[in-house]
Amino acid sequence: MKLSFFGAAHAVTGSCHCLEVNGRKILIDCGLQQGRDEHDDNALDFSPSYIDYVIVTHAHIDHSGRIPMLIKQGFQGKILTTRLTAELLDITHRLAEGRGYQLDESCNAPLLGYYQRRQAQDARTAGNGRLARNTLEKAIFHQSRRLVAEPAAALDVILPGDLELEEE
């Protein structure tokens, strides 16, 4: 067993640790550092393809904020998260399908991180389907704007760039 520290080693935010057990590499959190810039949040200190699993301990941005970057840079393993966050992601996919759209698989990690952060801010309202519906409606709007610039793009696919995942 081996434990490596890629974040929160010199500060209290930016949690990111890798546990290697029986040939598996398990990333525990992949968070943004907040406050003084002791670490570059735009770079990872390891190869994302090296990781088999990500466990998100809780939804704060300093534990999940760099997951979208992890995916973009090649992570293809599984993300283990809370039941409520996984349910919201499923609702978003079903709503998209019901409207004739499909969410590209690369939307999953950014949506998971966003829903977890929103749940941490307000568990009463972020755990319901309204958040998923509003997120999808914004994505459809942005997707239609993208189609004006890219007329040859697929009409029914929502990509990560179509997502508006701003904190409210």
CA distance 29 to 65: 9
Max CA separation in the chain (angstroms): 52
Q: What are the beta bridge partners of residue 53?
A: 26, 78
What are phi and psi for residue 155, nearest 5 degrees? -75, -20
Q: What are the beta bridge partners of residue 78?
A: 53
Q: What is the pLDDT of residues 72-124, one digit of tens each?
A: 788 888 888 877 776 776 777 778 888 888 888 888 888 888 888 887 777 66
Q: What is the pLDDT of residues 29-71, one digit of tens each?
A: 888 776 655 556 677 889 999 999 999 877 566 777 787 778 8
Q: Decide: 131 and 90 in contact? Cβ < 8 Å.
A: no
Alpha helix (H) ranges present in the chain? Answer: 61-64, 67-72, 83-98, 108-121, 123-126, 129-149
What are phi and psi for residue 59, nearest 5 degrees? -85, 0
